Structure 1
Amino acid sequence: MNMQQTVTMNGLDVQAATETVAALKADASLAKFQFRARNVWVDGGENRSTIRGFYGVGREDDSRTADFEFVNGEPPVLLGKNEGANPVEFLLHGLAGCVTTTLILHATMRGITIEKLSTELEGDIDLYGLLGLDPEVSPGYREIRIRMHIEADCTDEELDDLLAAAKAHSPVCNTVCRPVPVVLNRA
């Protein structure tokens, strides 16, 4: 009987990661993914997004049996009722999650064990942009600051390289850091 033990590092299956990279190198079309979300307005600042299916590795994914639901809301000072985090807070959540996951993936590929990792994010927005009160003020974040607290079995230089890789290769960070065309039209 062949008892193959799964080797994990940072919670990831090392062999599966290696096989995934090899498969992508062998067939670049497998790397093309499409993620989707649906959103319905409820009332005031409240709306709900559902996420389930996506396309990746050459096919429609069927691993999810139920929708993920996210409630978007606003605090009272922004005319809401605290129904949920607001969309710019969700953006920080998405950014934190993506940079963290990217860092873990790259650490694993480099043989670095992460012992502890936590992240704090802050972003500054001026409502003059959102409300159209000053055309010179951007409605988006003016700056986002990410502080990662990391304990790992590597040198400070390797850790700095790992942080740079996480920023450079995180899909959400890359999307936020460069202009991305967004097409908005009526259905």
Structure 2
Amino acid sequence: MNDKPNGIDVVALSQFAKGVAEDISKRSARFNVKTKWEHQTRSVATVSHYSLGGVEHQRHFEIAADEPTELLGQNSAPNPQELLMAALNACLSVGYVVNAAAMGITVHSLEIETDGELDLRGFLGLDETVNPGYDEVSYAVRLHTDASREEVEKLHEIVTKTSVNLANFSKAIRMVPTLEIREA
């Protein structure tokens, strides 16, 4: 038997989950992103660290965002809505591949396509009764495995219940804003 189905070290996953279940100090994961505006509608987010179980880990990634030219940008990067959907898709992908591995299911291919429509009147402040965000987002999971239909449906149920970003999309998150004004 393959000890790393889908490239996932199932033994390490099991040990990690056991540690989280048994030790309260290992239950926390904290992520941080700092975004700086560059010009026009372009910004660059920097990921420099995360904390797992109270231990900070350094890393460095930059994620650019921009709007298409029709929305006054330079079309130099995905826009925030596309990044939001990409984050959902990436989280779901991790869920499918890792949980499939834990279930002994080999994933041959996986594709997730997400779609949502906005009413720009809300974003532009033209109608205060219009939601500036999505009222509905749909996603299609295209999964190829050798598993039975019942096993794949169980996998889908597990991922639907445990995906962090699906949970974030599905319910309101309490936001805690702070405004820091720098004097000229």
TM-score, normalization by structure 2 = 0.92
Matched, 1:89 2:82: yes
Letter of the structure 1 residue corresponding to residue 152 of structure 2: L
Displaced runs of 4 or more, over 6 A: none
5+ residue gaps, structure 2, are none
**SS of the counterpart of 2:16?**
helix
Percent of aligned pairs with the same amino acid: 29
In structure 2, how many angstroms separate the alpha carbons of the residues matched to 1:76 and 1:108? 42
Give the superposition deviation at 1:14.
Answer: 1.4
Task: Give me the whole-angstrom Cα distance separating, in 1, the residues matched to 2:143 and 2:168.
Answer: 24
C-alpha RMSD of the superposition? 1.4
Given the alignment of the two structures, is residue 19 of structure 1 paired with residue 15 of structure 2, yes or no? yes
Which of 130, 138, 152 is 2:131 aligned to? Answer: 138
Aligned residue in 2 for 1:100: 93
Aligned to 1:74: 67
**1:178 counterpart (168, 171, 178):** 171
Deviations 1:6-60 (A, max 9, x none): 8201110111111111111111321201100001111111111000201112311
> In the alignment, what sits opposite 2:43?
47
Partner residue in 2 for 1:3: none
Which structure 1 segments of 5+ residues have no match? 1-5
TM-score by length of 1: 0.90
**Number of aligned pairs?**
179
Task: Point out the more displaced range, 122-131 or 156-165.
Answer: 156-165
CA distance in 1, matches of 2:115, 2:7: 27
